[in-house]
Structure 1
Amino acid sequence: MQKKSILKKIFIYTVSAILLCILYVAMHLGYNFFSDNIHTVIPNKIYRSAQLNKKNLTELTEKYHIKSMINLRGTWPTNHWYEVEKKFAKINHIEYYPIQFSAYKLPKKQEIRILVHILQIAPKPLVFHCEGGADRTGMAAAISLILFKKNATIAEIEKEASWHYNAVSRFTVGYQVMRNYFAWLKKNNLPQSKENFLTWLNSDEKMQPYEGWFFV
């Protein structure tokens, strides 16, 4: 009887722990969703978000003194959100850079090089966004850490393109790009650094799309 009682307690504690973990993740994802997934990538320099309406754009701009905006959804002149955002940037003297990426399709290296160039030349502080602030935004955030944070670790970079910011699939563009870069580092026995990232980006090494489990 005592053994059964112990096993029962272990089972209850295990199930409770699993349910608490699920609840935590659900609450975290929900918070990101309802808060427009606004987060700091590098303090006073780079911020990330989901697609914002005019009111939230105003609040973000005033709070962080935004000087540049990178729209990772591209140019959509027939869509209301694009016209609102473009007009807002013009009125508030914010540099506006629309560049189109897919949330799941692996981009060409040339497209990433354009993003890197914009990240380097755009006046700071800047904010970038896609639709939900998770997939394409995760890629831009991971690249930003590599470019602007000294000694950024692989764990820190991976986090920017992970479930922490609602990118729950391994097919997201951020996960796929970083996976290719980290694989190249491992193959060449190199540490993570801005210089090595740019070497990889400008190399002839072809990126391979991810094939595997859906969830991170």
Structure 2
Amino acid sequence: MPDLSSPIGRSRAWLNSLLVDHAVLRLSWRNWGVVEPGRLYRSNHPLPWQLAQAARRHGLRSVINLRGHRQSCGSDALGRARAGELGLIHADAPFESRGAPHRDRILRLAGLFAELPEPLLIHCKSGADRTGLVAGIWLLLQGRPVAAALDQLHWRFGHVSSSRTGILDAFFQAYGAHLVAHGPKPFLDWVREDYDEAALRQAFTSRAWADRLVDGVLRRE
């Protein structure tokens, strides 16, 4: 992790965050969303003052970083430090944006949701894909319909369902198809007993133009 104990270390962390991690694009673009008022909020990777503003405005108590701990990432170091200064609980729950969600990570996430005090903020880098996935999972854990989960993976957040990140949509759709075929079943029970990561990967196909947009133009993580 970048050393923030000295002015030089802080300067290096800021340069890395703004230029290498593209936080310069997040100076004005927040990609903010309210999943449920007073309980769960979503965004791209917040800069320190953005995290402080959100904490004051919404009374945040916890943050889940869906990128995971990144030792050499300035945004990671600055965000963790600010969360500590604000008295927020900071947890890591890394997910992929282009792969079938892993069962063990979903179950661990469900445990975090049960343990961490709310209101809670979830974020990845851009706030489009992994954040949408986890916001949708949270809604399903509250008993909300699959359509509500899918709405968290929406173009208004920058999500492109035709690209490889569309496998996240396919994950929710697989749960929905199971409900249609077999009747009601709690989401976590489906994850434990029926969800097939390999089958989801094999069945999903993206479109070349969308992959070029997301990977080549937008350069998503």
* TM-score higher than 0.5: yes
Identity within the alignment, %: 26
Shift of 1:177: 2.2
Gaps of 5+ in 1: 1-31
Query: Which structure has the bigger radius of gyration?
Result: 1
Q: Are 1:162 and 1:175, in contact at CA under 8 Å, matched by a contact in 2?
A: no
Match of 2:12 in 1: none
> Structure 1 residues 97-106 or 129-138, which shifts more?
97-106
Count of aligned pairs between the two proteins: 178
TM-score scaled by length of structure 2: 0.74
Gaps of 5+ in 2: 1-25, 211-221
Q: 1:202 aligns to what SS in structure 2?
A: helix
Give, in whole Å, the separation in 2 of the partners of 1:166 and 1:61: 24
Deviation sequence 1:66-103 (CA, Å, 0-9, x none) = 10000000011211111111111111111111121111
Aligned with 1:63 (options 51, 54, 57): 57
Are 1:163 and 2:165 matched, yes or no?
Answer: no
Are 1:39 and 2:29 matched, yes or no?
Answer: no
> Structure 1 residues 163-172 or 38-47, which shifts more?
163-172
Match of 2:187 in 1: 197
TM-score scaled by length of structure 1: 0.75
Shift of 1:204: 4.5
Are 1:211 and 2:201 matched, yes or no?
Answer: no
Give, in whole Å, the separation in 2 of the partners of 1:160 and 1:49: 12
Shift of 1:180: 2.3
Match of 2:19 in 1: none
Give, in whole Å, the separation in 1 of the partners of 2:51 and 2:27: 16
Are 1:180 and 2:180 matched, yes or no?
Answer: no
Q: Are 1:142 and 1:174, in contact at CA under 8 Å, matched by a contact in 2?
A: no
Match of 1:154 in 2: 146
AA at the equivalent of 2:189: T
Match of 2:78 in 1: 84
Match of 2:101 in 1: 107
Match of 1:53 in 2: 47
Give, in whole Å, the separation in 1 of the partners of 2:207 and 2:177: 18
Q: Are 2:27 and 2:47, in contact at CA under 8 Å, matched by a contact in 1?
A: no
Deviation sequence 1:96-122 (CA, Å, 0-9, x none) = 111211111112111111111111211
Q: Are 2:99 and 2:168, in contact at CA under 8 Å, matched by a contact in 1?
A: no
